[in-house]
């Protein structure tokens, strides 16, 4: 976990913005699980690899991860409702 290679500033910004974009994609129910996992991976890489550099896209990074969490939650609700309908039938 702690031995990630340090990121260049450009990489850090690009990956933060990628996390933001993937966060929006993860709001698609069920199919959004893959972008959500990718968003979390980008988030983790930036947090652990940014070092002392200032991240201008900090807010996008944070919002992207929150959106990914909301996407996973949405998918979970859809799956639970689907399972209940199946059990009921």
Partner 1 sequence: MNLLPVAYRELVVLARRPGLYWMRFAAGLVVALLSTGVILTHYGAGATPASLGGPLFRSLSYCAATLCLFAGPVLLADSLAEEKRAGTLGLLFLTDLRSHDIVAGKMTGLAMPAVQGLLAILPVMTVGFFLGGVTGGEFARTALALLNLLFLSLAVGVLCSAVLSSGRRAFAVSLGLLGCSGLSFWALEQWATQCPPWLVWLLEVTSTPAAAVPGAWDGKTPCDLPRFQLLLAATHGAAWLCVAAACVVVGRVWRDRAEVSPWRRRSDGVRRGAGLRGLARRQVGSAVLVWLYAAGSVWGLSWLGGQVTVGNVSAGQFVVVAWLLHGAFKLAVGWSAVRALGGERDSGALEMLFVTPVGEVAVWQAWLEALRWRFLRPALLLAAGDIFLAWRWSLGPESSVEESSLLLCVFLGVVLFLLDCYALAWVGMWEGLVARTATRATVRTVVALLVLPSLGCLPLLGLLGTGAFVPLVWLATCVWFGMGFLADVGLGVKTMVRVSDDLREAVLRRVGG
- Residues in touch with partner 1 (CB under 8 A): 1-2, 43, 47-48, 50-52, 54-55, 58, 61-62, 65-66, 68-70, 72-73, 76-77, 80, 83-84, 87
- The smaller minimum CB distance to partner 1, of residues 31 and 59, is found at 59
- Shortest spacing between CB 62 and partner 1, in angstroms: 5
Contacts of 67 (CB under 8 A, 6+ apart): 20, 23, 24, 26, 27, 39
Question: What torsion, rounded to 10 degrees, do the Cα atoms 77, 42, 24, 62 define?
Answer: 90
- The smaller minimum CB distance to partner 1, of residues 14 and 44, is found at 44
């Amino acid at each position: 976990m702690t031995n990630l290679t340090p990121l260049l500033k450009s990489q850090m910004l690009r990956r933060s913005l990628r996390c933001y974009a993937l966060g929006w994609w993860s709001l698609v129910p069920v199919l959004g699980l893959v972008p959500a996992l990718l968003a979390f991976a980008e988030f983790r890489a930036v947090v652990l690899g940014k070092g002392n550099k200032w991240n201008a896209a900090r807010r996008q990074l944070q919002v992207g991860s929150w959106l990914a969490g909301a996407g996973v939650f949405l998918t979970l609700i859809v799956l639970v409702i689907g399972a209940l309908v199946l059990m009921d039938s």
